[in-house]
Structure 1
Amino acid sequence: MAQQRTVPDSRQLAPTAERQLYKITEAAVILGLSRSVLYEQMRMTRPDGRPRLRSVKQGRTRLIPAAAIREYVALLEHEAEVADDRAA
Structure 2
Amino acid sequence: MSPAAAREETYLKIVEVAARLRVSKMTVYRLVHDGELDPVLRVGRSFRVPASAVEAFLKGSVISR
Percent of residue pairs bearing the same amino acid type: 25
The structure 1 segments of at least 4 consecutive aligned residues displaced by more than 6 Å after TM superposition are: none
**Aligned-residue offset at 1:61:** 1.9
Compute the TM-score of the two structures, normalised by the length of structure 1: 0.57
**Aligned-residue offset at 1:30:** 1.0
Compute the TM-score of the two structures, normalised by the length of structure 2: 0.74
CA RMSD across the alignment: 1.7
Task: Tell me how far apart the structure 2 counterparts of residues 61 and 43 of structure 1 sit (CA, whole Å).
Answer: 13
- What's the secondary structure of 1:62's corresponding residue? strand
Q: Rg larger in 1 or in 2?
A: 1
- What's the secondary structure of 1:63's corresponding residue? strand
Q: Which runs of 5+ in 2 are unaligned?
A: 1-7
Q: Confirm whether residue 52 of structure 1 aligns to residue 36 of structure 2.
A: yes
Q: Which has the higher contact order (CA 8 A, sep 6+)?
A: 2
- What's the secondary structure of 2:59's corresponding residue? helix
Q: Which runs of 5+ in 1 are unaligned?
A: 1-17, 45-50
